[in-house]
Amino acid sequence: MIDRTFKLQPIDGRKTLNNHHVNEYEVNGERVSDLISYTTRVASYNHATNEISIYNAQSQTTALHINAFLNFYGFDTMTRKEMQEKI
């Protein structure tokens, strides 16, 4: 069950960041946040282990979403190529 859904703030000077949202929920006693870009889960953050997983960085827009997600949870941003290497 999703506990909270929210949008991220852009980190590149834009006023808004569209076509995404973050779902926060608990699974097996651990808090997890999933980044949804358009309709696809593209990244997850496990609050207990402090680990980010990236699943998809096919478009420049998705890369913008992922970088906002990384920044929100205190991680360094990366290039789209770096993201694709982590998949």
For 3-53, write each residue's pLDDT tens digit.
999 999 999 888 889 999 999 999 999 999 999 999 999 999 999 999 999
Please indicate, yes or no, whether the overall pTM of this predicted structure exceeds 0.75: yes
What per-residue confidence (pLDDT) applies to 67? 97
What per-residue confidence (pLDDT) applies to 71? 97
Q: Are strands 40-46 and 30-37 parallel, antiparallel or unpaired?
A: antiparallel
The 8 Å CB, 24+ separation contacts for 42-47 are: 42/66, 43/69, 43/70, 45/69, 45/73
